Amino acid sequence: MKYAILTYESERKHFNLGDYIQSLAAAQYLPCVDFLLNREQLDSYTGEPVKLILNGWFMSHPEHWPPAPAIRPLPVAFHMVAEKADAIAGPDKIDFFRQCQPIGCRDPLTVQLLRERGVEAEYSGCLTLTLGKSYRADQASGKILFVDMLCKEPSWYRTFSGKKMFRRCLTVGKLFHPWAKRAALKRIFSGWGSVHHLVQNLPCADYPTPESRFDLARKRLEEFSHARLVVTSRIHCALPCLAMGTPVVFIDGGFDPSDIMGRIGNFFDLCNTIHLDSRGRVSANFDLEKLTDGTLRNPEAHRKLASRMMERCEQFIRS
């Protein structure tokens, strides 16, 4: 049997490093990686039988779904948006999911969409919650990392770039209080001194091959594991930090309501989360004083989810 992980090449000018971090989470369970298979072209695979963990967001081109017959899949931490559900799991494609059930879903909305179509599905959480299998926090660098804080908050210059963006800015309060959320974060973290800023969306031209992107993803996970504290609005930064034990604070501000309903909502409860409303008013599910007195610890609720996913992935590879 051969083994593969997902890649994410596309015609876009930027790629999301979090996608490659998700594939590294899957790679932990494989005895080797024989192939890199593009998520958007799984139907074109013609090689020998291969096992593939299908985790993450699906997909930009559902016309290329389901995967080719030679691919033996494990759908776990699987996510699809409601707008694409009929294209991915419509009557002509639903048999794929029935053959693989129960489907482990990254979010409750995907569970609902599949159950409505007669598929056995369960909430699994994100596979990056199992990265503690390969990475352990040691805080060796002592660095404080700010990673794409408020990355989903539309920038002011994009507010008037189109009707869709204008409506979104109106929804999240950007029009009336354009800098309120950033000002609130500045107040919260003003005493932390020097911080290091990182981004997860990067130019494809700088990392043109899957191998270069995977190398960068490994380096990024190492940075997370050595950090003193990570503050982020990226789920594939926050959840890996949870997994490896690095103190992390998740920032909720600027997300589209559909993101909260679908991709993100349940992850707020797994993390130490700061919520910012449109006026920059702050609420949190933890004591903010722990940020300054050095006693901040991550919640432990993710461990049960991680344990279940690890068991399923290991059984899949053994079978």
pLDDT for 122-137, tens place per residue? 999 999 999 999 999 9
3-state helix, strand, coil in the chain (%, to 5): 45, 20, 35
Asked if 43 and 64 touch (Cβ cutoff 8 Å), the reply is yes
Asked if 104 and 312 touch (Cβ cutoff 8 Å), the reply is yes
The pLDDT tens digits of the residues spanning 260-289 come to 666 786 899 999 999 998 888 999 999 999
Higher pLDDT among residues 175 and 227, named by residue: 227
Domain boundaries, the chain: 2-128+305-318, 132-302
The answer on pLDDT for 308 being more than 70 is yes
How far is it, in rounded angstroms, from Cα 66 to Cα 87? 10
How far is it, in rounded angstroms, from Cα 297 to Cα 286? 10
Beta strands at 144-147 and 196-198: parallel, antiparallel or unpaired: parallel
The pLDDT tens digits of the residues spanning 222-259 come to 999 999 999 999 999 999 999 999 999 999 987 776 66
Which two three-digit tokens encode residue 240?
A: 């890996």
Which two three-digit tokens encode residue 72?
A: 């033996």
Q: How far is CA 253 from the centre of its chain?
A: 16
In terms of Cα–Cα distance, which of 95, 41, 103, 47 is closest to 71? 47
How far is it, in rounded angstroms, from Cα 299 to Cα 111? 24
Whether residue 59 is preceded by a cis peptide bond, meaning omega within 30 degrees of 0, is yes
- Say what the pLDDT of residue 83 is: 93
Instruction: Give the C-alpha distances (Å, rounded to integers) separating 135 from 106, 225, 252.
Output: 21, 7, 26
